[in-house]
Chains A and B, each alone.
Chain A
Amino acid sequence: MVAMMLNLLSRGAEAEIYLLDFFGFKAVAKKRISKKYRNPDFDQLFIRNRTKIEGKVLSELYMAGLRVPRAYLVDEEYGVIIMEYIEGDRLSNIINSLEEERVFAIAREIGRFAAHMHSLKIYHGDYTLANILINGENIVVIDFGLSGFSDDIEEYAIDLHLIVRSVNATIPHIADEFVNQMLHEYKLHFKGNSEDVIRRMMEIRVRGRYIDRELRKTIMREKYVA
């Protein structure tokens, strides 16, 4: 590829991000890295699948009018996606310096985004504050590397679970209010049964190993009775 001429912007666990000019558009190239510890067959299959799905998800969401980077070019063979460059800060880095009112407005937007995304039967897979950019007034959700298509509410609940966990870790003092506002907005906009998704989210929280049995029973009571 043209990777030689590009500026390396950042290197993640899974991919390298390069900055480039794509026919006059400021763009980034996300190149998935081949891993030596993987079986070569697995490696190829893995990179191809993840790239394909990420490209598909990005374009579906963009077409539906949600704020995500536009995908300009998807090359499964090389594991490369060229997409729009988004100016902005990661929410996780700046959330502590924002005013409370603004934070709750963002919370509602995060809930709305999730609801619309899930209504399209798409899940993000890594929906955390670090993957949300603040671009002026708006939020832009990035890194769909673990995303996919599914109508299983489990996947939607995982998204909510991840964002809640990330909120609890970053802004513990106002986390409860944040989550309330976010979920309220989610319920308003999700086109399926949002109560089911939220209940499943609570279940996921107590699913880890060696959780107190009584707490688990309280939350998962219906399953025990049935």
Chain B
Amino acid sequence: MSIFEKTYELKLKTPYQEKVVRVLGIESTSHTFGAGIVELRDNKVYFLANASSQYKPARGGIHPRESFTHHVNNAPKIISKALRDSGLEIKDIDVIAVAVGPGLGPCLRVGASVARFLASYYGKPVAPVNHAVAHVEIGKLVSGLQDPVIIYVSGGNTMILVQKNNRYRVMGETLDIPLGNLLDTFAREIGIAPPYVVDGNHAVDVCAEWSNEFISLPYTIKGCDLSFSGLLTAALKTAKEHLHDKKHIGRVCRSLREVAFNMLIEVAERTLMLTDKNSILLVGGVAANKVLREKMETVAKQYGVEYYGTPPEVAGDNGLMIAYTGLLHYLFGKITKPDSVLVRQRYRLDEENYPWLP
């Protein structure tokens, strides 16, 4: 069953009065411009629409200006599509939610400008949402897990989180490049990408099938923190020794993936032991990776804890997660006027309290 056919019970005590709340969420932090709509009715959350358009570089990585141009050109189309899909008009929307950070400055400004315009023109309040928090919240909603160890892996973040005293606590994170960035950069540098992901498979995963061998690469854990940059350099150096030997590239890809995922899992395991939680939740763009999901399932089985991997539709960047987190903001009064919605490129998810957290 698709996630759109299900309804989700809101397991929170909220101070709100209204029977029905509808939120439009706008996402534009990086390569995706997305618009999603959620509805709260009788304490149940319904997903009404999730439209998006992705900027795909012809070569190289994300160019902030090119991504910005893409967002500007697609914003009206995507928002109209979301409204059309949901069967609503803009006047039916109660709150405009927008991701104000962390992300690329030019891209963030597109979403913020659109949100400010819609909100001031139609007289709606705005919920300024943290993009990272949104990734986690949608995962918690879809999985039904209340207090898991959260593993958040994407192109811009790699973090192990738990919730404590109304706040997300970072147990461990990357000290340099994130996991998604590691895989993308490696693929790009040895010339197997872009496109980075085809039919849900990353270029590195495709190449990893070319060989069964394993070679030793640097494995760097510092306390509970991770460091991937040395691994990237070593893998690139090894790969470039025989760039046209398919077997060799396959071997490096497989080993790179193995080492990177094992590092992440070791930190997750340690957090699990340290905090004594009874579930694991995998969120973020890299959560769509099949190999990582399988490994996580094995870990969960070994410790006898529940495991949930966010489904691909809501694992990557999308407007729906922004809309849902905006709904939480609205229910707990964390909303603001359009003129105070400013983007924050370095907006950490652990710098603020969120009243709905345990």
Task: Using CB atoms and an 8 Å cutoff, list the residues of chain A in contact with chain B.
Answer: 12-14, 35-39, 41-42, 45-46, 125-128, 146, 158, 161-162, 165, 204, 207-213
Give the interface centre of A38, A161, A162, A213 by most chain B CB atoms within 10 Å.
Answer: A38
- Pair A209/B302 contact, Cβ less than 8 Å: no
B269 located at the interface, meaning its Cβ lies under 8 Å from any Cβ of chain A in the complex: yes
A213 to B101 Cα, complex, angstroms: 15
| A12-B273, A126-B223, A210-B102 known; A36 vs B298 contact (CB < 8 Å) | yes
Which one, B223, B258, B294, contacts A38 given CB within 8 A? B258
A178 to B327 Cα, complex, angstroms: 43
By Cβ-Cβ distance, the 9 closest A-B pairs, closest first, are: A210-B346, A13-B269, A37-B295, A41-B214, A37-B298, A162-B223, A13-B270, A13-B273, A158-B222
A211 to B347 Cα, complex, angstroms: 8
A125 to B170 Cα, complex, angstroms: 18
Which one, A12, A36, A38, A146, contacts B221 given CB within 8 A? A146
Q: Which residues of A contact B254 (CB under 8 A)?
A: 39
Q: Which residues of B contact A161 (CB under 8 A)?
A: 223
B317 located at the interface, meaning its Cβ lies under 8 Å from any Cβ of chain A in the complex: no
- Pair A39/B173 contact, Cβ less than 8 Å: no
- Pair A46/B273 contact, Cβ less than 8 Å: no
Min Cβ gap B273→A in Å is 5
B174 located at the interface, meaning its Cβ lies under 8 Å from any Cβ of chain A in the complex: yes
The total of Cβ contacts below 8 Å across the A-B interface reads 73
- Pair B175/A42 contact, Cβ less than 8 Å: no
| A37-B295, A42-B214, A128-B223 known; A207 vs B273 contact (CB < 8 Å) | no
B340 located at the interface, meaning its Cβ lies under 8 Å from any Cβ of chain A in the complex: no
Q: Which residues of B contact A212 (CB under 8 A)?
A: 346
A94 to B265 Cα, complex, angstroms: 30
- Pair A209/B222 contact, Cβ less than 8 Å: no
In the complex, per-residue mask of B36-78: 1 if CB is within 8 Å of any chain A CB, else 0: 0000000000000000000000000000000000000000000
Nearest chain-B residue to A38 (Cβ)?
A: B262
Which one, A39, A125, A207, contacts B175 given CB within 8 A? A207
A45 to B214 Cα, complex, angstroms: 11
Nearest chain-B residue to A44 (Cβ)?
A: B214
A35 to B301 Cα, complex, angstroms: 11
Q: Which residues of A contact B118 (CB under 8 A)?
A: none
- Pair A209/B173 contact, Cβ less than 8 Å: yes
Min Cβ gap A112→B in Å is 21
- Pair B266/A37 contact, Cβ less than 8 Å: no
Q: Which residues of A contact B165 (CB under 8 A)?
A: none
| A37-B299, A38-B258 known; A46 vs B219 contact (CB < 8 Å) | yes
